[in-house]
Amino acid sequence: MSATTTHQGLPEEMQPFALLELIESLKSELGLIDQDITYLRWVFRRVKRTDFVAGRICAAWTSVAKMAVELGFSPRTIHRIETRLRRCGIILKASLANGRRYGRRSEDGLIMRAGGINLAPVINRACELSNKLRLSRLAAVDLKDEQERASLFIDDSTNENISNAAMKRFGENYLGCIH
């Protein structure tokens, strides 16, 4: 990653913390765990809303040691989280040759250069992730509808007494047929 990596910006209707909620909703699908979300929440609190505007740098450059203390994680855990987030296409990571993170804002608050954690990948994926969540929710509704349609099947040839007993015992969850 370059110290000046910019992004395309969030969709107009999306706020920064809505993106975080989107990531959290897709946590399992993205291969993330609770620690990753805790870490991202911490990073999102360290950047400014204006950093999410198209063509800007959106990054945090707090040291791993300081992050570990503030989050209550070990430095090793921070490195594992960052590796997982990088592999999942959520962050870019860069630092000086000695591993030190750095950043500089202009007088008007815009990031000019940053070596640390850059959120450009996830910002650029905001529409994709939003669509993924929408499709996931539609699939869940379709599955529920299918389950409701298939929740009760009593063969017409079943004795009426047995059929009534099955309904009484199993209700809508009865899926068998008794002869």
Domains belonging to the chain, first-starting first, are 16-124 (1.10.10.10), 140-173 (no CATH)
Query: Model pTM?
Result: 0.75
Per-residue pLDDT reduced to its tens digit, 157-176: 666 776 677 677 666 655 55
**102: confidence class by pLDDT, cuts 50, 70, 90:** very high
Q: Angle 44-134-118 (CA atoms, 0-180°, nearest 5)?
A: 25
- Alpha-carbon span 90 to 13, nearest angstrom: 20
The pLDDT of residue 158: 62
* Beta strand pairing call for 111-115 and 102-105: antiparallel
**Residue 87 CA: distances (Å) to CA of 30, 80, 91, 156, 171:** 10, 11, 8, 55, 47
Integer Cα distance of 97 and 90 in angstroms: 23
Model confidence pLDDT, tens digit, residues 19-37: 999 999 999 999 999 999 9
Q: How far apart are the C-alpha atoms of 20 and 129, rounded to whole Å?
A: 11
- DSSP 8-state code for residue 55: T
Residue 97, pLDDT score:
76
Residues in the chain: 179
